[in-house]
């Protein structure tokens, strides 16, 4: 038997509700196999911060590191000043655990209604850089709160950091039928960072002669995501542009209730973390209204990352089947989870 | 009689074609009035750069400054390295002439097909900051081209710069029926810049008690632009976020062939500049295929800026009437221009 030690960060708002269903589906996927999951819950998020002032201690981080993977629900609450939990907990996990590949599939499943009139077949994946760019926190302000305030944000991009994520994206493109990679940046304005990305795609591309590439400025990318999302196969982009276009990608493929993500450390020097793209949605928390599908699809990415490919496929197939048949049935979080688990158990 | 000295920068690709029609419509709008336009053409863009290595000289800039306004077609050509004309010409104009309000209406005109299945009524305006943010060019790279390269881009935001554009946006919101202002930023990650924007909206908002406000992270804004664009009235945002969401806004309202913009210096210390949002589209240049509508709508913004409100309305009404009736008739650039001019002449 193989044992998987899973760190669970249910977090705030709807986080615990969707994670509960994600774990139920995970159990269903592994039932009868020789893979066992043991979970450790980490009490992190708004409640903990209010009680202790802590976001993520060194000890928390050390204990999380001992796990094989992390399942995260959602972080954030309006009662906590903006940035505190994002920077102190969510981004701290992504940075400390070197999650340099933030993987976000954009798939329009059959049966799902897109807000686009004519979306066509949408099946791409965004490889968002996860540890650099404007997310590094190298900003500051002087004369804060005065008419002479200056606030800066520094985007830091390294050859090391860009190359490793670009190589990962090429490898993913190589493994897909269309073998196409689109770099999204803004190199006509952000010339230094942009040219580093561009040169890197060119250089690494030489190692992947079968992969075709093109380039879009981020503004143009939002146009094509609206008018012709089928054109995308693999997109590689920086941390901030990836944040923006993956929310748009979620919107055109049925909403953030369905959008999964993996914060992946491909070198496996630390556990990878799987989380729905959506936030904590405090307005509907505790009401059993949240759709756990994004979390369940994140569990599929988790299984794949752990090499449990067959189980990953079964979870994704269960979601696909559910989406194909759900129509506008209103179901609770638990009902969706139960039905998905039943489909996975088959 | 009033004389208007207009600087014309036709630029590259389809620029000259669309500008020709824009000027024809401008003439039609002023025919029979006591307002006369004299134009000075400035030879700027790819051709000039190839011939002389110049993008925009001090002398060009000094002569442009003497005009009442600028009409710009499009800048950029694949034969020029990325960033050279953008930074050296287009952005240099915006920065040097202190175009701190980059005004970009997002209007879905009746008769125009949106790629959204159910767009609803879309009628908002984006007030994009034009002289700060990550566009300031304060980036650099060290160990360039080596595996140890570090490339940075610095977003610079000042209380002075943010306040003036926020105040302009509030004034525009105040003048509109819905009186609503949405700040778009990413203050949970870009905490320093973001909090400056946030505090500024709060402070200036106190002067506009009738204007309601809300806030969206830029990623969430792309979702609402997809699922519910009717919710927007006035959006105020930073230079880069404004670049991104206005292309998306163009996409949902019929494409960049229709998207107008004004680079406005509200203090009138230098001429404002009006330009279509689209680029130079070298692939269709010289073929009479480009839609001059975005340029004509930019001429309407130009007229409004010059206080020629009645003429501005007539130009916009001509475009609206044309859009309502165009169906899928294929017309050349000149045909569209001619028909619009005829409508304006009435
Ligand atoms: C909550 C926030 C810090 C986060 C991000 O910007 O990465 C979120 O928007 C996401 O996409 O996971
Ligand atoms: C060409 C480029 C520099 C420009 C910008 O980024 O502002 C364009 O995209 C625009 O929106 O006018």
* pLDDT single digits (tens) A232-245: 999 999 999 999 99
Mean pLDDT of the region A190-218: 98
Residue-level pLDDT at B328: 87
Could you tell me the pTM of the whole model? 0.97
Query: Mean pLDDT over all residues of chain B?
Result: 97
Q: Backbone phi, then psi, for B104, in 5-degree steps?
A: -135, 100
Where do the DSSP E strands lie in B94-233? 101-107, 123-129, 140-142, 150-158, 180-185, 212-217
Give nearest CA residue, ligand 1 atom 5.
A243
The answer to whether the CB of A341 falls within 8 A of the CB of A27 is: yes
Contact A219 CB / ligand 2 (< 6 Å): yes
Predicted local confidence at residue B209, as pLDDT: 98
Helix H or strand E segment including A124: strand A123-129
Selected for mutation to probe chain A from B244, B246, B280, B294 (highest A CB count within 10 Å) is: B244
Pick from B82, B227, B247: CB nearest A188:
B82
Determine the pLDDT at residue A194.
98
Judged by phi (left if over 0) then psi (alpha if -120 to 50, else beta), residue B143 lies in left
Contact between A159 and B149 (Cβ < 8 Å): yes
Low-confidence residues in chain B, pLDDT < 70: none
The protein residue with its alpha carbon nearest to ligand 2, atom 9, reads: B243
- What does the alpha-carbon distance between residue B24 and residue B337 come to, in Å, rounded to a whole number? 7
Backbone angles phi, psi at A280, to 5 degrees: -85, -10
Q: Is residue B167 a contact partner of residue B100, using CB atoms and an 8 Å limit?
A: no
CB of A191 closer than 6 angstroms to any ligand 2 atom:
no
**pLDDT grade for A346, boundaries at 50, 70 and 90:** confident
Across the interface, whether the CB atoms of B223 and A251 are under 8 A apart is answered yes
Contacts of A141 in chain B (CB under 8 A): 192, 195-196
Is A322 tagged catalytic? no
Q: How far apart are CA A307 and CA A212, in angstroms?
A: 28
pLDDT of residue A328: 87
Q: How far apart are alpha carbons B44 and B61 in whole angstroms? A: 11
Q: What is the pLDDT of residue B279?
A: 94
Residue A201 near residue B225, CB atoms below 8 Å: no
Using a pLDDT cut of 90, give the percent of chain A over it. Answer: 99
Q: Provide mean pLDDT across the span A42-62.
A: 98
CB < 8 Å to B114, chain A: 117
**8 Å CB contact of B134 and A226:** no
**pLDDT attached to residue A40:** 98
Ligand number, closest to the Cα atom of B194: 1
Nearest CA to ligand 1 atom 1: A86
Q: Do residue B246 and residue A191 have CB atoms under 8 angstroms apart?
A: no
Q: Give the Cα separation of A204 and A168 in Å (integer).
A: 10
Residue B79, Cβ density class (10 Å: 0-12 exposed, 13-18 middle, ≥19 buried): exposed
Find chain A residues with C-beta within 8 A of B198's C-beta.
82
Beta carbons within 10 angstroms of residue A79's beta carbon: 11
Asked if the model's pLDDT at residue A110 lies above 90, the reply is: yes
DSSP class of residue B133 equals B
| Nearest CB to B251 within list A149, A198, A223 | A223
Domains and CATH numbers, chain A: 1-102+264-346 (3.40.718.10), 114-253 (3.40.718.10)
Confidence of residue A139 (pLDDT cuts 50, 70, 90): very high
A interface test, pick of B132, B191, B225, B256 with most A CB neighbours within 10 Å: B191
pLDDT tens sequence across A310-335: 999 999 999 999 999 998 899 999 99
- B6-23: b (≥16 Cβ within 10 Å) or e: bbbbbbbbbbbbbbbbbb
For residue B233, give Cα distances in angstroms to B127, B206, B207, B211.
11, 19, 19, 11
Give the whole-angstrom CA distance, residue B223 versus residue B211. 23
Closest CA to A22 of A273, A233, A225: A273
Would you say the C-alpha torsion A80, A86, A87, A89 has a positive or negative sign?
positive
Binding-site residue positions of B for Mg(2+): 219, 243, 247
With a CB cutoff of 8 Å and minimum separation 6, the contacts of B177 are none
């Amino acid at each position: 038997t193989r044992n998987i030690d899973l760190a669970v960060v249910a977090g705030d708002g709807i986080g615990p509700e969707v994670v509960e269903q994600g774990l139920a589906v995970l159990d269903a996927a592994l039932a009868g196999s020789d893979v066992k999951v043991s979970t450790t819950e980490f009490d992190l998020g708004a409640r903990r911060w209010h009680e202790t002032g802590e976001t993520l201690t060194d000890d928390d981080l050390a204990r999380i590191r001992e796990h094989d993977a992390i399942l995260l629900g959602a972080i954030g609450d309006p009662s906590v000043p903006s940035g505190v939990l994002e920077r102190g907990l969510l981004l701290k996990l992504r940075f400390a655990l070197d999650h340099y590949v933030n993987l976000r599939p954009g798939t329009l499943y059959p049966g799902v209604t897109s807000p686009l009139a004519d979306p066509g077949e949408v099946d791409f994946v965004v490889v968002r850089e996860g540890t650099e760019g404007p997310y590094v926190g190298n900003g500051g302000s002087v004369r804060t709160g005065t008419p002479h305030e200056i606030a800066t944000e520094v985007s830091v991009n390294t050859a090391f950091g860009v190359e490793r994520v670009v190589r990962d994206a090429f490898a993913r493109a190589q493994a897909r039928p269309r073998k196409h990679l689109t770099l999204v940046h803004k190199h006509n304005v952000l010339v230094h960072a942009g040219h580093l990305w561009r040169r890197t795609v060119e250089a690494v591309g030489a190692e992947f002669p079968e992969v075709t590439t093109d380039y879009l400025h981020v503004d143009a990318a939002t146009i094509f995501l609206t008018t012709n999302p089928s054109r995308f196969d693999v997109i590689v982009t920086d941390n901030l542009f990836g944040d923006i276009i993956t929310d748009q990608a979620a919107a055109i493929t049925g909403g953030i209730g369905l959008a999964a993500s993996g914060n992946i450390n491909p070198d496996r020097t630390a556990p990878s973390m799987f989380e729905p793209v959506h936030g904590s949605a405090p307005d509907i928390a505790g009401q059993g209204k949240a759709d756990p599908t994004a979390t369940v699809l994140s569990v599929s990415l988790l299984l794949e990352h752990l090499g449990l490919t067959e189980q990953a496929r079964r979870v994704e197939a269960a979601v696909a089947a559910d989406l194909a048949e759900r129509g506008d049935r209103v179901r609770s979080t638990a009902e969706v989870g139960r039905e998905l688990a039943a489909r996975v158990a088959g």
